[in-house]
Amino acid sequence: MPKEPDEETRRDDGFVSRFVEQFASQLVEAGMPRMPARIFAALLASDSGALTSAELGERLQVSPAAVSGAVRYLTQQHMVTREREPGTRRDIFRVHSNQWYEALGSREGVLKRWEAALRDGVSSLGPDTPAGQRLAETLAFFEFMQDEFAGMMERWRVRRESLFGK
pLDDT tens digits, 45-55: 998 999 999 99
Q: What is the pLDDT averaged over residues 88-115?
A: 80
Tell me, what DSSP letter sits at residue 106?
Answer: T
* pLDDT category of residue 138 using cuts at 50, 70 and 90: very high
- Does residue 146 form part of some domain? yes
- The rounded distance, in Å, linking the Cα atoms of 40 and 149 is 24
122 has pLDDT over 90? yes
Whole-number Å distance between alpha carbons of 76 and 36: 11
Residue 7 lies in a domain: no
Range of the domain at 119: 106-164
Residues 86 and 35 in one domain: yes
**Whole-angstrom Cα distance, residue 140 to residue 34?**
32
Query: What CATH code is carried by the domain that includes residue 83?
Result: 1.10.10.10
Which among 104, 115, 110 is positioned nearest to 139, based on CA atoms?
115
Residue 154 has pLDDT above 70, yes or no: yes
What confidence score (pLDDT) does residue 3 get? 40
Give pLDDT tens digits for 140-150: 998 998 888 88
The predicted structure's pLDDT at residue 146: 85
Q: What pLDDT does 4 receive?
A: 41
For the chain, count helices (H), then strands (E).
Answer: 7, 3
Say how far apart CA 161 and CA 164 lie, in whole Å: 5
The whole-number pLDDT of residue 77 equals: 85
- State the Cα–Cα distance between residues 39 and 154, nearest whole angstrom: 29
Quickly state the pLDDT bin for 10 (edges 50, 70, 90): low
Domain count across the chain: 2
Q: What Å distances lie between residue 72 and 69, 79, 89, 127, CA to CA? A: 5, 10, 17, 40
Band (pLDDT 50/70/90 cuts) for residue 12 is confident
Total-model pTM: 0.72
Residue 84 domain-assigned (yes or no)? yes
Q: Is residue 120 part of a domain?
A: yes
For residue 66, name the pLDDT band (cuts at 50, 70, 90). very high
Q: Do 34 and 80 reside in the same domain of the chain?
A: yes
Average pLDDT, rounded, for the chain: 87
CA distances from 106 to 63, 112, 165 (A): 29, 11, 23
